[in-house]
Structure 1
Amino acid sequence: MPLPSGNPYEPVEGRGVTMFPRSPLLDVPQVSDAPANSQACVDIWWWPYDADVDWHRICDGLTLEEKSRAATFHYEKDAISFIAGRHLQRATVSKYTSIPVQDLHIAAGPHGKPCLTNSVIAFNLTNAEGLAALAISRDCSAVGIDAEPMARVIETEASSLFCSSAELDILSTLPPGESRSLRLSYWVLKESLVKATGTGFVTAPNQLTIRLDRPTNAIRFDNPIANGNTSWHHHLLQGPGHLIAISAQTDRAQLILRQREFSSLPGDYQ
């Protein structure tokens, strides 16, 4: 289908929807042990956990600090979300480093971003109402992932807190349903970038403008941060009931994504 005319750096308009491109998560190639050749690769491990999981068994693999933190949550669903994320993170990082789960030392940076001491592996975790997902890469200097339920509604009044004036102009022209969907895309993309940098919002989120480069179908940020924009790659994925954003920084021209569903059993992958 030919690309629509007009500004080549705006969200796509077609079939009545103004939207950044979204790839169905299950259409992304599965994680394998084969190398990604010269392309940088980010693997996404996702876990749509449910109430049937043996959470006491899962907790056995957490550190004392993680167990103590889980006990501080007022609501059980929040504690379960935390436990699920930490279990996914520890099990997956262990798989990629061949370091036993109990020997992993995952530290937190100045702004809370997890990192592995003395390792080149980059990874980042997100939790969102029944879904835990981890982005991990041996080829990228930084990765960030964010997910939100598709049904989440970000109120129009909150848009000015994280949307630029250019983004607000676009949102103001759209029907309510399309505006809500695009607003959620802006949110998760900016969150994924901030989580990748690990520095918090050095630049206010409403000073960052996201656009679509129609000739390449690539998602771009107008305002480069963290050592420039040319080495950043941004993607949107539509998972089971969730919208997922990935931001990754690499010195390679191309980035490929792979995905795999995670099993709830320690050391067991689908």
Structure 2
Amino acid sequence: MRRSINWPKPSWGWASLPALLIVWCVAATRVPSYVLPQPWDVIAEAVHWIRSGDLGQQVGASLLRELGGFAAAAVAGLAIGTAAALSRGFREFVGPLNSLFMAIPPIAWAPLSMIFFGLGYLSIAVVIFIAAVFPMAITIQEGVLAIHDGEVRAARTLGANRVQLLRHVYLPASLPFITAALRIGFAQAWRALVAAEMIGASQGIGWMVAMGGQTGNSSEVLLGVALIGITAWLMESLVFRRIERSYESWRGQQ
């Protein structure tokens, strides 16, 4: 009896971007170029921004705001989510606040933040913080609550103290949820950043998109949109996936 060869199934993920470009090129031939430019027009716009040195400045300004607000939200989200999971009283206290702030679009806080802190770094960082902290706190809370009581009791039976429980039980078991919380928080923060920059900033990727729309430069708008997507994709590929690979080996050791 002949053995059949199980050939690997082809992955079609590589075809998505070329398909998008083909649809873009075809659609651009049906409308005026000032409405929808061709991809090479956007590339020419990018070359112009790179040669002038402004592109790196805009991306750097956005990343600086993002990292500041997101880092503060990550620390606060981890603390709030862990405390809510370990304390029923605190969980009942913050539950309505989580529901309230999750229901309000983060960009709605931008005008108030700019009134309090003025136009600049701090006002946008506050909007980023509000956008990211509550989804992260809820995700981490659910991750800690998902830990089986049997694992905790077994560790206590073996003489583990609170620090050892946190290091060898709670932290390894909740790492997937922490990574998921970071992903969700970064995505929410990145969207809020771009929206806030479109309203009240003098530089950044969101400001690029807003200025392109006001001047009727659709190539600049699409360049900003492409930068938003590329930056998020790079964070996913270079940061979050590496974190996953590193903690998987660490969890095995624990």
TM bin, normalised by shorter chain, reads under 0.3
Indicate the structure whose relative CO is greater, using CA pairs within 8 Å and at least 6 residues apart. 1
Higher helix proportion (structure 1 or 2): 2
Higher strand proportion (structure 1 or 2): 1
TM-score, normalised relative to structure 2: 0.28
* Greater C-alpha radius of gyration: 2
